[in-house]
Homo-oligomer: A and B are copies of this chain.
Amino acid sequence: MVPADQTDSPHGTPPLSAPLSDIAIARQARKAPITQVASRLAIPEEAVIPYGRDKAKIDGAFLRSIEDRPAGRLILVTAINPTPAGEGKTTTTVGLGDGLSRIGKRVAIALREPSLGPCFGQKGGAAGGGYAQVVPMEDINLHFTGDFHAITAAHNLLAAMVDNHIHWGNALGIDPRRVLWRRVVDMNDRALRDIVQSLGGPANGLPRESGFDITVASEVMAILCLARDLEDLEARLGRIVVAERADRSFVTARDLKADGAMAALLRDAMMPNLVQTLENTPAFVHGGPFANIAHGCNSVAATRAALRLADYVVTEAGFGADLGAEKFFDIKCRQAGLKPDATVVVATVRALKMNGGVARAELGREDVDAVRRGAANLRRHVENCLGFGVPVIVAINHFTSDTQAEIGAVREAAAASGVEAVLCRHWAEGSAGIVELAEKVAALADGGTARFHPLYGDALPLREKIEAVVRRIYRGAAVSIDPPVLRTLDRYAEAGFADLPVCMAKTPYSFSTDPSLLGAPEGHAVHVREVRLSAGAGFVVAICGDVLTMPGLPRVPAAESIRLDEEGRVEGLF
């Protein structure tokens, strides 16, 4: 299964008006030299570290030099619960950036980097779609500037040092049965989920159970995305809890003296990457934490840089707003001191129809009632977002099959929640199709009405933080936490982690923990079956339901049709 936030594509079925595939459109892009893209944000050429001609990293020293500049407006793009019909969150983020640029605003987009592994599984890339894409699409989807490889290496160095420490006498007294740090690989590889390692005799260490996660699920990824600078990065890496002793006390990466070498491996990865949209709008594509067991937002370093370089910054958060926006607000904004100015909730008529009970095969048929039913999902997300004190606007990501009556039903639903809904045709038309939304978002962000506050205060006990999210965001009636899990929360609090926010891990497909419960369910029970401490990232993960941290490949992997054409271009990333 590919994580849903890695698969969002604006249009499950391309409308007739846009006959070209994403990659065909991407290849027609008239890319500006990357230094020219940087110059749109007044980034001097000497601060642009080129990776090829169309990708760059922005020099850390330059970014430090602009830290005191006033911040621009921060706009979050989030969405209704994802469905197989697609919502187009990344596409709308890109389109809105281009739209703001078109109406004369100095804008930067701040996106997540796609994961390499899933490209070879269900689908191709994840860099927007249609005429709202970031380029070079092939590079961004494969190795890009090597950030994820650096994260993989840093993660696995720590893992090797844990086992090496045990092998050479275990001076720290690690309980080999309680090693918490697994390994990672940026590949969909179910065979590595559960392994027994260190077989083959004493020279290979102490045999024990272990396994691999996909790189985006690494705490190192979350740390990279939340660290303010290299110093903060190293401090966070040092706080990673890798194992417990027999007395259940924690052993950290700093205890193993791994933090310095890990930071060295991540030095270049910490610098934000700059690319461009099809319309040459600057886009920072940096960091890509899992939106499930991590917070699913692009890096603080990139967002902060963008805010000091642009007047408007458009960023996204993974999954639907119940997971993505909540974590954006309660984890990323809280930790980084960000104050968002506006929220865009993306919806499609098709996805609302699915939320209203229409089967995927029937989506082509007009069904205004289904839109109205499904719009309960949209309204819930809108109201939740408003609850964070940030003004909201709805973007209707247009499909050619949408009827006027259906679109009208979405507008009515939004209006009933007190917000406006704007039809956008960026997928088919680029910035020309999203001018109205751009103008309204700019006005909303400039309006000064935002009074951002997180859902809960730092001092609320961990258990009550979980309950706050369940009751006020998921609208669940009851939270059940098993006694051993409660005791673990107590241990975290005793160890000094009571002030951390919680990072909820649950299905993205429903407000509840039942992925088939679409629309706006109420009164459901939420069962927290496990909690995990991410002391370096700075949150406590609460796991509700199954969490798959290593996807598998499907029966016919996309890899089978990926290859180089005669000109050395990558075929099969779509």
Chain A residues with CB under 8 Å of chain B are 49-53, 60, 116, 120, 142-143, 146, 149-150, 152-153, 156-157, 159-161, 163-164, 167-169, 183, 185-200, 203-205, 209-211, 230, 234, 257-261, 263-265, 267-268, 552-553, 555, 557, 559-564, 568, 570-572
Most B Cβ at <10 Å: residue of A143, A209, A257, A571: A143
A149-B153, A196-B199, A267-B564 are known; give 18 further A-B pairs, CB within 8 A.
A120-B157, A120-B160, A142-B264, A143-B265, A153-B186, A157-B187, A159-B189, A160-B187, A160-B188, A160-B191, A161-B557, A164-B553, A167-B191, A193-B200, A195-B196, A260-B562, A261-B572, A264-B570
A199–B208 Cα distance when bound, in Å, is 13
Subset of 9 A-B contacts with CB under 8 Å: A120-B261, A143-B265, A157-B559, A185-B185, A200-B211, A258-B560, A261-B560, A261-B563, A263-B563
Known contacts A193-B204, A261-B560: A187-B146 contact under CB 8 Å: no
CB distance from A172 to the nearest CB of B (A): 13
Q: Give every chain B residue within 8 A of A265 (Cβ-Cβ).
A: 142-143
CB distance from A166 to the nearest CB of B (A): 9
B189 and A163 form a contact (CB under 8 A): yes
Residue of B nearest to A160 (CB): B189
CB distance from A162 to the nearest CB of B (A): 9
Residue of B nearest to A558 (CB): B261
CB distance from A375 to the nearest CB of B (A): 36
A559 and B198 form a contact (CB under 8 A): no
A564 and B263 form a contact (CB under 8 A): yes
B143 and A153 form a contact (CB under 8 A): yes
B191 and A204 form a contact (CB under 8 A): yes
Q: Give every chain B residue within 8 A of A553 (Cβ-Cβ).
A: 160-161, 164
How many copies altogether? 2
Known contacts A193-B204, A562-B261: A164-B234 contact under CB 8 Å: no
B194 and A200 form a contact (CB under 8 A): yes
Q: Give every chain B residue within 8 A of A561 (Cβ-Cβ).
A: 257, 260
B564 and A60 form a contact (CB under 8 A): no
Q: Give every chain B residue within 8 A of A60 (Cβ-Cβ).
A: 568
Q: Give every chain B residue within 8 A of A160 (Cβ-Cβ).
A: 120, 187-189, 191, 553
B190 and A267 form a contact (CB under 8 A): no
A267 and B204 form a contact (CB under 8 A): no
A203–B195 Cα distance when bound, in Å, is 13
A191 and B196 form a contact (CB under 8 A): no
B156 and A149 form a contact (CB under 8 A): no
A190 and B161 form a contact (CB under 8 A): no
CB distance from A293 to the nearest CB of B (A): 18
Q: Give every chain B residue within 8 A of A258 (Cβ-Cβ).
A: 559-560
CB distance from A186 to the nearest CB of B (A): 7
CB distance from A329 to the nearest CB of B (A): 31
Known contacts A146-B146, A564-B260, A564-B264: A190-B168 contact under CB 8 Å: no
Residue of B nearest to A556 (CB): B168
Q: Give every chain B residue within 8 A of A167 (Cβ-Cβ).
A: 190-191, 552
Q: Give every chain B residue within 8 A of A190 (Cβ-Cβ).
A: 163-164, 167, 198, 203-205
A436–B196 Cα distance when bound, in Å, is 57
Q: Give every chain B residue within 8 A of A188 (Cβ-Cβ).
A: 160
Q: Give every chain B residue within 8 A of A120 (Cβ-Cβ).
A: 157, 160, 261
B193 and A261 form a contact (CB under 8 A): no
Q: Give every chain B residue within 8 A of A260 (Cβ-Cβ).
A: 559-564, 571-572
B186 and A563 form a contact (CB under 8 A): no
Q: Give every chain B residue within 8 A of A234 (Cβ-Cβ).
A: 563-564
CB distance from A502 to the nearest CB of B (A): 27
A198 and B191 form a contact (CB under 8 A): yes
A1–B506 Cα distance when bound, in Å, is 44
B191 and A205 form a contact (CB under 8 A): yes
A416–B194 Cα distance when bound, in Å, is 61
A429–B268 Cα distance when bound, in Å, is 32
A209–B186 Cα distance when bound, in Å, is 22
Q: Give every chain B residue within 8 A of A203 (Cβ-Cβ).
A: 190, 552
A347–B415 Cα distance when bound, in Å, is 83
Q: Give every chain B residue within 8 A of A195 (Cβ-Cβ).
A: 195-199
Q: Give every chain B residue within 8 A of A571 (Cβ-Cβ).
A: 260, 264
Q: Give every chain B residue within 8 A of A193 (Cβ-Cβ).
A: 199-200, 204
CB distance from A275 to the nearest CB of B (A): 15
A49–B204 Cα distance when bound, in Å, is 42
User: Across chains A and B, which 4 residue pairs bring their CB atoms closest together, nearest first?
Assistant: A260-B563, A194-B200, A149-B149, A261-B559
A211–B198 Cα distance when bound, in Å, is 9
CB distance from A179 to the nearest CB of B (A): 10
Q: Give every chain B residue within 8 A of A197 (Cβ-Cβ).
A: 191-192, 195
CB distance from A38 to the nearest CB of B (A): 14
Residue of B nearest to A563 (CB): B260
Q: Give every chain B residue within 8 A of A53 (Cβ-Cβ).
A: 49-50
Q: Give every chain B residue within 8 A of A149 (Cβ-Cβ).
A: 143, 146, 149, 152-153
Most B Cβ at <10 Å: residue of A60, A116, A142, A264: A264
Residue of B nearest to A208 (CB): B191
Residue of B nearest to A562 (CB): B261
Q: Give every chain B residue within 8 A of A263 (Cβ-Cβ).
A: 563-564
CB distance from A361 to the nearest CB of B (A): 25
CB distance from A348 to the nearest CB of B (A): 31
